[in-house]
Amino acid sequence: MIDVDHEISAERRQLGTRVLEAGEARVATISRSYDTTLADLWDACTNAERIPRWFLPVSGELRLGGRYQLEGNAGGTIERCEPPESFAATWEYGSEISWIEVRLTAESPERTRLELEHVAHVDDERWDQFGPGAVGVGWDLGLIGLSLHLASAGEQVDPAAVAAWSSSPEGRRFMTLSSEAWRDASIAAGADPAAAHAAAERTTAFYTGAEPPAG
């Protein structure tokens, strides 16, 4: 159902920092191209009827200044909306607030690049424990749904089938490779390699349900 190696290699992962009013924040950026038009990708990412077909049920008002809530996940406020090229919103999960920005760029009439940026204040202790994979693997899993949705001409992705795949050996392999890809991005951004490897092992164990290596 899912070509794991293709899905992993199709994405570009980068890490950086940004100074906000509350201090320095960490920035995780994911980007990849899809074989669809700019208008169709914008619709897939912003239409309340289409988002549940590949991601999660969403309620609220998907407009500038509106509040949204993803079922069982984050909610927030849409702070900027510039169709069909970009939108930005808060990403509020429990008591934690971070920010997302999605930018779309037409590479040709039938191919569009999506760039998703997640900006968050992450304390050093949590970063040292899990690194960028804590949020990165989750986004990689979410974007699989978008890939399947677009490949099927906008059809509903079967949540049960995706859940079954996620707990399968191939699903666990995907999460492992995703965690390792975020580890490599962390090292490329200047992280200590040994610390990045240890954090990735803990992230992989968290997502796959495996025991982390001793020591």
- What residues make up the domain containing 12? 4-208
The answer to whether position 215 is within a domain reads no
DSSP 171-202: HHHHHHHHHHHHHHHHHHTT--HHHHHHHHHH
- Residue 67 covered by a domain: yes
Contact between 107 and 115 (Cβ < 8 Å): no
CB atoms closer than 10 angstroms to residue 84: 17
Structure pTM?
Answer: 0.93
Is the residue at 213 inside a domain?
no
127 part of a folded domain: yes
pLDDT digit string (tens) for 137-164?
999 999 999 999 999 999 999 989 988 9
pLDDT score of 180: 98
Other Cβ atoms less than 10 A from the Cβ of 116: the count is 18
User: Is the model's pLDDT at 21 over the cut of 80?
Assistant: no
Q: Which pLDDT score is estimated for 1?
A: 72
- pLDDT category of residue 23 using cuts at 50, 70 and 90: confident
Quick check: is 112 in a domain? yes
Please tell me the predicted confidence (pLDDT) of residue 213: 56
| Element holding 140 (H helix, E strand) | helix 133-151
214 in any annotated domain: no
Q: Is the model more confident about 90 or about 22?
A: 90
CATH of the domain at 32: 3.30.530.20
Query: What's the number of domains the chain is made of?
Result: 1
Q: Identify whether 45 is part of a domain.
A: yes
